[in-house]
Structure 1
Amino acid sequence: MVTIRTDLTVREATADDVPALLPMLAEAFSTGTVAEWAVPEPADRLEVFTGYFRYMLALGLRHGRVDTTHDLSGAAIWYRRDETPPPHPDHLYGLEEATGRYTPKFLLLDAMFEARHPRLPHAYLAYVAVAPAVQSRGVGSALLTHAHEALDAENLPAYLEASNPRNRDLYARHGYESGPPMQPTSSGPPFWPMWRGQLNGGVRASFPPPNPYYRRLR
């Protein structure tokens, strides 16, 4: 069951919100098993994730949609995906500039995510973060509910990758179905691809089959 907070207003973020959202995203993502794997040196993590999300926020504002709460305590970066992802010829340069010597780990995650990505039109939740001080207080659910209302009006499916069992269970409460986990390396952290299908007669469509490219990679 999902508890919906009525005291949080969700709106689309603008460039003026970046100074407040950037440290929140960097702090939220610089802890946990994924951060430890991607940036093994603890002293570097916050700086690397600050650079990474400076770049990701710029991409989200330019090519997608960034949602935030009225108090800037959470943010979600969404993209519309067609069957073929749009080319970003400068992505490697931007990622290298943002993450420095840790770029290979981030590229490995990108390749894994892209290989598993469904090849049909959908909305893609690339990132969602909540300020650590207010986590588990319904901020993430408010962001998801706001986006899902618009997606349900179009009956458009949604896709994401959950980075831990706690988040996976939250997304499941919001109607997502989990697929088999994937790992960037044999010792890397697991991620769960998750799909929120179209409604058909009150029932959500099942997770689409893996794309052929992923089957070749395995």
Structure 2
Amino acid sequence: MIRDAGPGDRSAVAAMLARAFADDPAMSYIFPDPRDRAKRLPRLFALLFDEDAPGMRLVTGEARAATLWQRPGTPAVGTLTLLRRAVPLVAALGTALPRALRVADALDAHAPSGRYWYLHIAGVDPAHQGRGLGGASIREGLARAANDGLPAYLETATERNVGLYQSLGFVVTSEWSVPKGGPKFWSMLRAA
């Protein structure tokens, strides 16, 4: 049911994640206009899908749910890589770039030190939510990550998701807000 996502899944996963995050507090902060958000999120999630390729990208058979994981010790992005990504990223974000950078800086500031698997993105198509697909995808990632004997980390800006993550063994380590009126986040860690 859960499999590795490949390049051929990029468009379907990006479109599904755009629908899943259409009302997400962080995405609503970055893209306040709902029409602009709907237009830009598929492009943004396609770029994030590519970014997480060295880690673990898991998807249900028909891309109804997906999780994108960054592997432990993912190095900082080098200057050349950053420059190659800059044009598509600016095109995806447009005038939302300052708000997106504010969120990214806050996420970086609250990330734990040490090595861990990072659950970067987890989403389920709204038409298929409540069927256990998201939990199944996360559990598959956790099972694979367990081979490394390292903790797993995530953050969420959606309070109703905190209970799901707690049921999967994550514990809230902090609550914080993005500066300048940004959304509230919960940082969560699951022990090795």
Structure 1 length-normalised TM: 0.81
What is aligned with 2:166? 172
Note the alpha carbon deviations across 1:3-30, whole angstroms, 9 max, x for none: xxxxxx1110001112221210111112
Structure 1 residues 100 and 70: alpha-carbon distance in aligned structure 2, compared to 1, 3 A threshold: same
1:89 to 82, 88, 100: 82
Note the alpha carbon deviations across 1:103-159, whole angstroms, 9 max, x for none: 111111111111111121110011011000011110111011111112223321110
What is aligned with 1:157? 151
CA distance in 2: counterparts of 1:196 and 1:180, whole angstroms: 13
2:7 is equivalent to residue 11 of structure 1? no
- Runs of at least 5 residues in structure 2 that lack an aligned partner in the other structure: none
User: Counterparts in 2 of 1:1-218, with a 5 A limit?
Assistant: 9-61=1-53, 63-82=54-73, 85-87=76-78, 88-90=81-83, 91-198=85-192
Structure 1 residues 134 and 41: alpha-carbon distance in aligned structure 2, compared to 1, 3 A threshold: same
| Pairwise CA distance, 1:94 | 3.7
- Runs of at least 5 residues in structure 1 that lack an aligned partner in the other structure: 1-8, 199-218
| Pairwise CA distance, 1:42 | 1.9
Note the alpha carbon deviations across 1:158-179, whole angstroms, 9 max, x for none: 1000112211111011011102
Q: What SS does structure 2 have at the residue aligned with 1:140? A: helix
Q: What SS does structure 2 have at the residue aligned with 1:31? A: coil
Contact residue 83 and residue 120 of structure 1 kept, 8 A: no
CA distance in 2: counterparts of 1:130 and 1:83, whole angstroms: 25
Structure 2 length-normalised TM: 0.91
CA distance in 2: counterparts of 1:43 and 1:180, whole angstroms: 32
Contact residue 118 and residue 153 of structure 2 kept, 8 A: yes
Q: Which ranges of 4 or more aligned residues in structure 1 deviate by more than 6 Å? A: none
Contact residue 56 and residue 141 of structure 2 kept, 8 A: no
CA distance in 2: counterparts of 1:74 and 1:52, whole angstroms: 17
Q: What SS does structure 1 have at the residue aligned with 2:52? A: helix
Structure (1 or 2) with the larger CA radius of gyration: 1
Q: Aligned pairs, how many?
A: 189
Contact residue 176 and residue 197 of structure 1 kept, 8 A: yes
CA RMSD of aligned residues (A): 1.7
Q: What SS does structure 2 have at the residue aligned with 1:82? A: coil
CA distance in 2: counterparts of 1:46 and 1:116, whole angstroms: 28
| Pairwise CA distance, 1:35 | 2.6
Contact residue 84 and residue 119 of structure 1 kept, 8 A: no
